[in-house]
Amino acid sequence: MRLIASFNPSTYRLILYTLVIGGSFYLGALLYIPYFTDNTEIATVSLKKFRPQLEKIERKNLQIKADGQLITVQGQELKKWIEPYVRAYSGEEDLRLSFAQISKYLESLAPRLNTQPINAKLTFKDSRAQIFVPSSHGKNLNIQTSATILADAIIDNQTSANLVFDVVDPEITLEKINNLGINALLGGGESDYGKSSSARIHNIRIGLSKFNGIILKPGEEFSFNNWLGEVDEEAGYKSELVIKNGELVSEYGGGLCQVATTVFRAAILSGMEIEERKPHSFPVQYYNPQGFDATIYPGIVDLKFINSTSNHILIQTKLIGSKLLVEIYGTSGGKEIVIDGPYQYDQTPSGAMKAYFTRKIYKDDQLVEEERFNSVYNPPPPHPLERNPLE
């Protein structure tokens, strides 16, 4: 137990004492202490003095102003924010305002009140970035501060209160791009998802959005699976039927290999160092010409490359009609990328084949790097669903 005496001139509330028992803060019936937070981050305020006012508030509404929106909290909801408890030092029953319940209510509001920042989309002209889509700030509801404001409003018998938001800065702005020296399109990959199912198109759109606006430092590794994250219903993906081990099952994320293939092509054509890439097990129509594809499966197969330039690079993605575009921007280094192929060979009537292409990198008209990328494809499975579900 500890005795505390202080005076807060900003709120004009005299604090005579508090009792600290087991990590919780208790106060007398005639006192008000703003907020204390214990290890569980739950703060409460004794409200015996304010019970008459609360009974009136329970029959009223509380108007919450949320950055231009007006939300009405009904009296029945306000009642949930009040909880009974027994004073440990006297055994008396009392009421208190539950900071945890107010926070829980605000957490339920946050998804529809928060807004994501928008990264700038850029074009380049005369070696300078220009805005195609302007950046804008987002906002996140500050739960702790807003809960304190709502509690104060109830205690002071107010009928309205303003929520507080934190500003979220966009990662990509024109100023940042120019400061990083990103001034040129290094290379871009393209693929066509025409004739895809609606679920596959949906998944491609979600997957592609994961890679828009990525900035990599010089020497930094890019991992497709790390940036992709979870592939499930909660992440927004749709499922399609596939055959696994002879059984028809539903898998999420069909179409994500198309995103991986397009990223791979962009990395190749921008001169990145390919660290890990695996072609599909058999030819897939979406990735013609065969030999220029990449498959992924989270936890099993990844696509990785290194930013092998001496400056930052920026990845931007686009959907134009049925075309996927992945573009990599950076600092112009005077390199020229030449692709020879892909060429298919050893083709069989069953559909099996091999393929390869060669990447040559020139600088000042001198060949500085040459690398061959090989692919081996098995015959397509007898049933069209017996395949990597992420294709």
In tens, the pLDDT along 366-382 reads 999 999 999 999 888 76
**Helix, coil or strand: residue 224:** helix
For 9, the token pair is 């001139």
Does the domain made of 6-168 have the CATH classification 3.10.20.800? yes
For 312, the token pair is 């930052």
d(CA 376, CA 353): 6
By the 8 A CB rule, do 30 and 49 touch? yes
Q: CA angle 10-11-16, nearest 5°?
A: 110
pTM, two decimal places = 0.63
Q: Which residues of the chain have pLDDT under 50?
A: 1-46, 243, 246, 385
Distance of CA 176 to the CA centre of its chain: 20
- Give the number of other CB atoms < 10 A from CB of residue 365: 6
Q: What is the DSSP letter of 287?
A: G
Distance of CA 30 to the CA centre of its chain: 47
pLDDT value of residue 366 = 93
For 223, the token pair is 């991992």
By the 8 A CB rule, do 108 and 139 touch? no
Burial class (CB in 10 A: 0-12, 13-18, 19+), 341: middle
By the 8 A CB rule, do 264 and 211 touch? no
Give residues with Cβ within 8 angstroms of 70, minimum separation 6: 63, 64
In tens, the pLDDT along 67-103 reads 889 999 988 788 888 877 777 777 777 777 888 999 9
Per domain, the residue ranges of the chain are 6-168, 180-377
